[in-house]
Amino acid sequence: MNLSAAAVCGKRSIPSRLRGSSARWSATCNARHPQARPDILIDQHQTTATGPGRIYTGKGCCMARLLISVRDADEAATALAGGVDLLDIKEPDHGALGAATPAVWRDVLAVSQGRVPTSAALGELLEDTQHDDNLLARFQYAKIGLAGCGVRGDWPQRWSDSLRRLPPNVAPVAVVYADWTGCQAPPPLEIIHQAAGLRCQAVLFDTHDKSGGDLFAYLPTDQLERLVAIIRDAGQQVVLGGSLAGQAITTACQLAPDYIAVRGAACRGTRNGPLDLERVRSLTALLHANAVFSS
């Protein structure tokens, strides 16, 4: 897929509420883990192609990157071959943020070899999942869900304590469940405000119940725009997930997130099926086609 800067950047505009200052927006768009991707040159004024179907950014142009959740090394290899930008490791049979085994972590890390950033799902806070700190320290990100915490007054302190126990080089990701009422998670705005006071580098929007609809079934676009603006003002990255596929991904791209997070859309059959290479490639192309432009 060979696209010019105009073709990539000229189609859609960033919503005005999300732009902020041009300097802040340029910094957000152009500072996406270059240390983890030494092969990628991101320049404010040039479009740089760094491989088949992979184009990063011209002046004022911002394209969401692709995050795919994988359950084993074979899926990681498929995702890498299809152009994934961040590998998230989880076990979908164990829930929205089901933790994979240490053996799976080791196998996936051996396949990725630092080519892209990696994140680890650590389950829900109230599950008190144990993990190998030495192995976890090899990840760039980790995320812990807050299902059930909405009915507990001590959840901010418990969450803060849990994040402080992460290896210092691992950046926490706050998780907002769009279907928060159904899983008794704290409201989105409460989590976002708490995350701003912690060392969370990103906020992920997800769904807890994968059978109940996608992100937009619970959070309308205008509400998401307001929440994204708050996160941007706090200097954090935005990750949009929650059973996104097809048109929902196109809609999500208009909010100019740093990452679009998927699993089911990249799998054959259900989200528990195997990753499909052509689906991954199609998702990569879809994000390219939906880059947004700050005029």
pLDDT at 37: 33
* Confidence (pLDDT) at 61: 64
Mean pLDDT by 10 residues, the chain (295 residues): 36 55 40 36 29 38 92 98 98 95 98 98 93 96 98 97 96 98 98 96 97 94 97 97 96 96 94 94 96 69
According to DSSP, the residues that pair with 141 across neighbouring strands are: 119, 171
Within the chain, what is the greatest distance between any pair of CA atoms? 53
pLDDT of residue 8: 35
Residue-level pLDDT at 288: 93
Q: How many residues does the chain have?
A: 295
What per-residue string of b and e applies to 212-237 under the rule 16 or more CB within 10 Å gives b?
A: eebbbebbeeeebbebbbebbeeebb
Determine the pLDDT at residue 13.
57
Give the domain ranges of the chain.
Answer: 63-290
Helix (H/G/I), strand (E/B), else coil: 84: coil
Angle separating helix axes 188-197 and 221-233, nearest 10 degrees: 10
C-alpha to C-alpha distance for 48 and 171, rounded to whole angstroms: 28
Cβ atoms within 10 A of the Cβ of 277, count? 15
Query: Which pLDDT value is given to residue 39?
Result: 32
Provide the token pair at 238. Answer: 């935005």
Cα separation, 108 vs 77, in Å, equals 8
Residues whose CB is less than 8 angstroms from the CB of residue 124 and which lie 6 or more positions away in sequence, other chains included: 95, 97, 144, 145, 146, 147, 148
d(CA 225, CA 291): 17
Which pLDDT does position 270 carry in this prediction? 86
Neighbours of 131 (CB within 10 A): 16
CATH of domain 63-290: 3.20.20.380
